[in-house]
Amino acid sequence: MKIERAEAVSVKIPLKFAFETSYGRQTERETVLVKLESEGLTGWGEAAVSECPDYCYETPPVSLLVLEKYVFPRVVGKSFETPEDLAAEIGAITGYPFSRTGVESAFIDLYCKSIGEPIHRWLGGSRTLIPAGVSLGIEDDQGVLFDRIRWALDEGYQRIKLKVKPGRDVGVLSGVRESFEDINLMVDANSCYTISDLSLLEAISKFNLIMIEQPLGPQDLADHAELQKRIRTHVCLDESIRGIEDLRAAVALGSCRIVNVKFGRVGGLLAGRELARECLRNGIAVWTGGMLETGIGRAHNLALASLAEFSLPGDVSASDRYWEEDIIEPAVIMEDGHIELSEKPGIGYEVVTKRIEAFTTARTSM
């Protein structure tokens, strides 16, 4: 397939309600959408970058620049027989995994539409009902948090993830366990603790948690290994695992028992699939994390979650978890704790360009 045109737009979309992590509080989501055109077909992807260089160094302005100057020139006007061919071409660019993911996933959507196959089938997915978990942000008002948890349970989400940070951890978890004794619960620290907080992390681990996600710094595999030796709760790594090499180092050190595979963080759906397979070979459980994506990124994430290697409910919430109105039709819907995958070609949803235009703040094209 010859890529005839590429476009990337930065969009800023209001969240349904504020979402706070140890990185800060968000009331809107700024992300980058990528569109590729070929032979009358359009493919969509999302570079789910960070608004600030905290979770990752890629921000919307950085991503637009990288796409314009370095990624688009490698693909526009060129032909690629398979997504693997395109991935190899843009893989020569060092770093910028989210930006490269936006282009790779847009091409995968385009390619699958050309062969009349949904992405999850092309990836080798083995299921069409995806178990759904939900991520809930930090709330100063515990009553608000409890209302969010009740809503999630009433909706049928199979696992609750709570964001935590120093001062909003043990006390919050104690209250949650008193009111919701038997729920499937995990916490995500987004790297806000250090090994000097060992006693605090030991206290956090006593609340019957499925896992503690990324408690320490992204490069701190050695201290994660020390922490995992000291607590029975499974340590899950997110920011620390940028690819196969990081995973192998974590396995060798004993730094974790679970990995959160965000395909944008590791450079695309193909890299995410290979990382999940490597986890399975090493006895590491995997699940799919979310980045507050729009429906475009969520559709790709759901396709990845269809793979048999993903054994735990991921952050694959329905559209109404974050948005009053998503930019795809139909909206992503969850029923009985699962999201059913579409059998339509590509991402399986129609992108509503008028809604994208209403939220667009910047763009580049080639």
Q: Could you list the active site residues? A: 163, 262
Count H helices and E strands in the chain, helices first.
14, 16
> Alpha helices, DSSP H only, in the chain?
60-66, 72-75, 83-90, 97-115, 119-123, 142-155, 170-179, 198-204, 221-230, 244-253, 263-266, 269-281, 295-305, 353-359
Which residue type occupies 15? Answer: L
Contact between 105 and 298 (Cβ < 8 Å):
no
- Give 325's DSSP letter: S
Give the CA radius of gyration of the chain.
20
Angle at Cα 112 formed by Cα 81 and Cα 5, nearest 5°?
65
- Give 332's DSSP letter: P
- 23: tokens are 């990185």
The residues facing 130 across adjacent strands are: 339
CA dist 327 and 238 (Å) reads 27
- Strand-pair category, 258-261 with 235-237: parallel
Closest-CA residue to 347 (of 69, 123, 85): 123
| Residues contacting 25, CB < 8 A, separation 6+ | 18, 19, 137, 138
